[in-house]
Structure 1
Amino acid sequence: MDRIPEVAVIGAGIVGLCTAYALVERSAAVRLYESGVPGHGQSSGQSRIFRHAHDDARLVEFTRQGRAVWDEWADKLGAELVSQDGVVALGTPVPERLRILQDVGGMPVRAVDSTELRARMPLLADYQGPAMLDEGGGAIRTRTAIESLAGALGDRVVTEEVISVHPTDHGTVEVLSAAGREQYATAVVCAGLHTARLARGVGLSLPVQPAAHVRLTFQVGGAPPQRVACLQDSSGDFGEVGVYAAPYPGNSRYAVGLSQTVQVREDGSFADPHALVALNDRARVYVSRALPGLDPEPVEYLHCWVTSLPWSEDGMAVWEADGIFFAAGHNLFKQAPRLGRALAGAAVGEGLEEDLRPAAALGRPR
């Protein structure tokens, strides 16, 4: 009998791509399944925020380690993957998050006054409340990351929809796809909205909460600033609590989203079909108040699914059953290289990190 390939990875969003790439680093044979174009599901869009600030010190440390992996892979892939312009955060959560960051250590973070805030975030309206700067954060170059990883993986990426993944009676894992039936030593499922469905096939009930999300992109008025930070606004000073924003490469466009999402029924339908439109309108009003440096008419709209866990909007976990690993959570783009390495280690028999097990509730505020 021919040697069974080592690992199947299901889902070629950023977590799946990073897991497969980390397996290649370990010289493991891997096949990455994706039903569509890599990175065009929950990982879609041109920009995301890399930030260290979280309410759980364990997750801050996980993120700090992840920043080093982003830098290492940028060197290997020959591309800028995270900008150097930092992240500014506004609002009453700033002092406590700054304390947690400083307790963990190893990150250049500090409180800033309105003068430095204006220099770092020239698009922002006047603001006098609590603010901090995470100099180690920045805008993730999402398309560059997706394309670089997919290119490095080459023909290990196959365009097939996975229908089922399950253990066999002889200790392997079988993957049934639209075009075939293959066996592997193990499998890692990071299929976003479809992860919970595939997990049910092996008797796991993941507490994943699906929702829909809106992100709008605006043109910068006038010449693009040479330097502009990402933004997290929890202040409420401009009418919204829970806003994030990140520049496109070149700083000529800025993507703005509200943290609020629209919940969906179990069958994926909306209880209120107009709720996404309302979030669009609220984001436009916020930009007109908070970001006068932007043209208030959006130039791009992104509507996508998100999946979150009940203990935190930043929560993540990995479930394990019969040699199959299921990863789930929200705001995972920034965590993907570090999470990918952890998943790769688990898949080749090194054991799953305890903080990633569901009982650890990684991300829960302490």
Structure 2
Amino acid sequence: MQQALPDVAVVGAGIVGLSTAYALLERGVEVRVYEQGAPGNGQSGGESRIFRHAHGDPRLVRDTQDSRAVYDEWSERLGVPLISGDGAVAIGPSVDDSLPLLQEAGVAAHRLDSAQLAERLPALASYDGPAMVDERGGSIHTRAMVGALVEALGDRLVTDEVLSVRPVGGEVEVRSGGRTDRYRAAVVCAGRGTDHLARTVGLSIPVEHAAHVRLTFAVRGAAPARLSTLQDSSGVFGETGVYAAASADHTRFAVGLSGHTPVREDGSVLAPGDLEDLARRAARYVSRALPGLDPDPVEVRHCWVTRLPWGEDGIGVWEREGILFPVGHNLFKQAPGLGRKLAAAAAGEPLPDLLRPEARLGAPPA
């Protein structure tokens, strides 16, 4: 069946762009998605991510609950389990701050003793400090999700680089390498390139750019029946701000530190040696904290970070005459819920006030 002409352009086929495009199709709105590289291979790249409800901003906890419900719905419709049922584990002093917020919001989260922790995370060394599990958290199966969304979009996804977007006569003009088209609306989900395209319409987005590295390690021996995700703020094993997520078959565990290295305005990395240092520190952490993993990494993933100044999990959407510019960090867990909100706004509904920059969604309470 021939597709109708697209009403909306989506720039970028990372997880937010793909989710927005799929949500537009849910609404019966035709869409064209521009991506200059492989879909899901930029900031969304890698095999797994953490789904967690824990955030310092209670509004973001509720927003994540909404996104989890969409994950369930899409898993059933796409025929792909998008999040594992293994739970999300946190250890360290952050537990005492996060757990009350989660329980107040109705999230199924509770403390773990050392034996329960060992059952959830058999790769972890002995630990008897504060620990909790978010039962509805788990590892997002990122490659499976990207693949399912790309298949659903079909030839609505075009390989082309977008040079500019601008409002013209009540429409949005998109100029790319091989075409110039006009749409009723556009959503720019271009990762590090989002604020560059925003400047073409006079917007200045206060995004902080950085580079990051994440390593994947093989699980020793047979794959465990359960392998929860991990966030470690304890410092017991020499690092804080550690995160880790499992592959779908539990044979690999991706581990990263919260550190980044800044980049210049032109995108060049200020100190490339910082990435090597982060990788070494992650490998040393695995040797100390995760003896159930082989300490020699089997995969490395470098990616950009686009962080807003009000928080590590901050989200904001800038708007200019039919063009939406969503910006944030750690957006994979929010992508289905956020995609539906962006699709609704692109289809003509008001953008939720919570997503406007002045709401500072994701900022920790004062």
| Fold shared per TM-score above 0.5 | yes
Deviations 1:275-296 (A, max 9, x none): 1100010001000000000011
How much does 1:270 deviate? 2.4
Give, as a single letter, the amino acid of the residue that structure 2 aligns with 1:124. L
Q: Given that residues 315 and 330 in structure 1 are in contact (C-alpha distance below 8 angstroms), is that contact kept between their aligned partners in structure 2?
A: yes
Alignment of 1:239-250 (within 5 A): 239-250=238-249
TM-score by length of 2: 0.98
Secondary structure, aligned partner of 2:93: coil
Alignment of 1:14-25 (within 5 A): 14-25=15-26
How much does 1:5 deviate? 3.6
Secondary structure, aligned partner of 2:358: helix
Give, as a single letter, the amino acid of the residue that structure 1 aligns with 2:136. G
Alignment partner, residue 48 of structure 1: 49
Provide runs of 4+ in structure 1 moved above 4 Å: none
Alignment partner, residue 253 of structure 1: 252
1:132 aligns with 2:137: no
CA distance in 2, matches of 1:12, 1:311: 26
Q: Given that residues 318 and 357 in structure 2 are in contact (C-alpha distance below 8 angstroms), is that contact kept between their aligned partners in structure 1?
A: yes
Alignment partner, residue 171 of structure 1: 170
Secondary structure, aligned partner of 2:128: coil
Give, as a single letter, the amino acid of the residue that structure 1 aligns with 2:75. A
Greater shift in the superposed pair: 266-275 or 234-243: 266-275
Give, as a single letter, the amino acid of the residue that structure 1 aligns with 2:155. D
Deviations 1:315-348 (A, max 9, x none): 0110001110000000000100000000000001
CA distance in 2, matches of 1:137, 1:275: 31
Secondary structure, aligned partner of 1:350: coil
Q: Given that residues 5 and 30 in structure 2 are in contact (C-alpha distance below 8 angstroms), is that contact kept between their aligned partners in structure 1?
A: no
Alignment partner, residue 83 of structure 2: 82
Secondary structure, aligned partner of 1:346: helix
Alignment partner, residue 71 of structure 1: 72
Q: Given that residues 4 and 185 in structure 1 are in contact (C-alpha distance below 8 angstroms), is that contact kept between their aligned partners in structure 2?
A: no
Alignment of 1:166-245 (within 5 A): 166-168=166-168, 170-245=169-244
Alignment partner, residue 35 of structure 1: 36
Which 5+ residue runs of structure 1 have no aligned equivalent? none
Secondary structure, aligned partner of 2:296: strand
How much does 1:18 deviate? 0.3
Cα-Cα RMSD = 0.9
Q: Given that residues 4 and 184 in structure 1 are in contact (C-alpha distance below 8 angstroms), is that contact kept between their aligned partners in structure 2?
A: no
Aligned residues: 362
Alignment partner, residue 361 of structure 1: 360
Give, as a single letter, the amino acid of the residue that structure 1 aligns with 2:250. N
CA distance in 2, matches of 1:8, 1:222: 47
Alignment partner, residue 113 of structure 2: 113
CA distance in 1, matches of 2:91, 2:6: 49
Alignment partner, residue 294 of structure 2: 295
CA distance in 2, matches of 1:101, 1:214: 29
Q: Given that residues 216 and 255 in structure 2 are in contact (C-alpha distance below 8 angstroms), is that contact kept between their aligned partners in structure 1?
A: yes
> How much identity, in percent, do the aligned residues show?
60
1:149 aligns with 2:149: yes
Secondary structure, aligned partner of 1:99: helix
Give, as a single letter, the amino acid of the residue that structure 2 aligns with 1:140. I
Q: Given that residues 56 and 364 in structure 2 are in contact (C-alpha distance below 8 angstroms), is that contact kept between their aligned partners in structure 1?
A: yes
Alignment partner, residue 307 of structure 2: 308
TM-score by length of 1: 0.98
Alignment partner, residue 262 of structure 1: 261
Greater shift in the superposed pair: 3-12 or 227-236: 3-12
Deviations 1:202-245 (A, max 9, x none): 01000111111110011111111111100000111111110000
CA distance in 2, matches of 1:64, 1:99: 16
CA distance in 2, matches of 1:77, 1:108: 26
How much does 1:6 deviate? 1.4
Q: Given that residues 317 and 326 in structure 2 are in contact (C-alpha distance below 8 angstroms), is that contact kept between their aligned partners in structure 1?
A: yes
Secondary structure, aligned partner of 1:63: helix
1:286 aligns with 2:285: yes
Give, as a single letter, the amino acid of the residue that structure 2 aligns with 1:97. S
CA distance in 2, matches of 1:130, 1:322: 49
Alignment partner, residue 275 of structure 2: 276
